[in-house]
Structures are given as C-alpha cells and as structure tokens.
Amino acid sequence: MDQKEEAIKQINTIKESLVDSQKFVPYAPNALIMWGIVTGILFLFTQEVIERFGIVSGGLFLAIFISVSAYMESKMIRKINKKYEVEALTRKQKFIESIYIFISIFAILMTAILFKAGAINLIYVVWIFLIGLTSYIAGHILNQKSFTYHGIVSFMIAFGIVYLIYFTHDGLQDSGLSYLFRALGVVIIGGGYIWLGLLMKKESYV
C-alpha cells in the first residue's frame, strides 16, 4: 500500500470515528420501512411454508428473505454515510449489523428446533423477543429513544404471549393462538418498524 492509499485510509478512519462520536449514528429510514414489510411477510407466511414444504425449505425461506434484506440495508446505510463523506460502515454501524446477523441466525435455528418439537407458538415468542432486543440495543447505540421503546413494548408482548401459552390448554400448538401471535407480530414488529422509519423521516434524521 503506497503513502497515498495509506493516507486515504487514515482519513476515512478519522471520519468514521467522528461520525460515531456524534449524538446520533447515521441510519437509513427506508431500511426500517423495508424491514417492517419483510418481517410482516415472515410472520404471516413462514409457518405455512414450513408446514407445506418442510423445515429445511422454511429455513431457506427465512434465510433468503433476511439475507437479501440485510444486503439492501447495508447499501442504504452506505448511501447515507456518503453524506458524511464516509465510504464504509462505521464501527457502531458494523456492531449493529453483527448483532442483527447473529440474532437472525439464532432465530432461524430456534424456529427449526421449536417447529420440530411441536412448540409452534413459542416461535413467535422467540421472534418478537429477539427483534425487540435488536431494537433495544440499536436504540442505545443510535441514541434513539423510539427504538428503545419499541424494544420494551416487544419484550412486554413476548412475556404476554408466554403467559397465554402457559395458561391455555395445548397452548404450544393452539391454532387460534397462532393466528393471534402472528397478527401481533405483524402489528408490533412489522408495523412498528414502518412507524419508526416514517418517524425518522419526519424528524429529518438524515
């Protein structure tokens, strides 16, 4: 690496550090809206895909949707970063991205395990809780209270679902509860992310 390339690399590193040290870290509102649509689709159709085509196909369905969405999110964030003359993702952005990846992998594995065990309704507990956890963590890193509140509401919904499952006969597989939990997921997670994205746009976050 010549001196010019080394100098450019050092300048980019400094810019990334400056962006990370601001009151907020750049994020793409459109990415939140996209995640809202994607999670809504996953809550609505994943169970049907698994029941009709099997656990492996269901896992691929989840993996493809999440991978494509994560790639699109990364592209959107990089575009936002260019406004700050930052070419790559900042350290905090990379941390949030890594959290999303690990939690997504864990959610896919737990979905397969719980479905195989017949504990279908617990899948929605895991999803809502883990997605709420990502919102809660991102809220602290991005200094966005709305993210944090979304995480807390998601935790409360997840705990409420556990309560219903415990006190309902055959709560782990009850189809009525399954439809209810999916609807909650679409509203709280899907609708929640769309609301966060629109709120971020309204506040002229970027």
* SS3 per-residue string spanning 93-142: HHHHHHHHHHHHHHHHHHHHHHHHHCCHHHHHHHHHHHHHHHHHHHHHHH
Quick check: 196 and 150 in contact, CB under 8 A?
A: yes
pLDDT at 151: 95
Which amino acid, 43?
Answer: F
Element (H, E) at 175: helix 175-184
Residues in the chain where the model's pLDDT stays below 50:
11, 14-16, 18-23, 205-206
Check: CB of residue 130 under 8 Å from CB of residue 102. Answer: no
Domain of 144, in residue numbers? 28-202
> For residue 65, is it within any domain?
yes
Residue 64 domain-assigned (yes or no): yes
- Does 9 reside within a domain? no
E strand or H helix at 6, and its extent?
helix 3-20
Give Cβ neighbours of residue 92 (< 8 Å, ≥ 6 apart).
20, 25, 141, 142
17 occurs within a structural domain: no
Q: How many domains does the chain have?
A: 1
| Alpha-carbon torsion (112, 100, 43, 57), positive or negative | negative
pLDDT for 137 equals 92
pLDDT at 3: 58
Instruction: Output the pLDDT for position 172.
Output: 83
16 domain residue, yes or no: no
Contact 198, 141 (CB under 8 A): no
Residue 86: predicted pLDDT: 66
- Asked whether residue 77 is domain-assigned, the answer is yes
- Give the global pTM: 0.82
- Decide if 143 is inside a domain: yes
Q: Is residue 68 part of a domain?
A: yes
pLDDT tens figures, 86-96: 666 777 778 88
> Cα–Cα distance between 87 and 85 in angstroms, integer?
6
Report the chain's mean pLDDT, rounded to a whole number. Answer: 84
Confidence at residue 19, expressed as pLDDT on a 0 to 100 scale: 45
As a whole number of angstroms, the distance between CA 205 and CA 24 comes to 9
pLDDT recorded at residue 91? 78
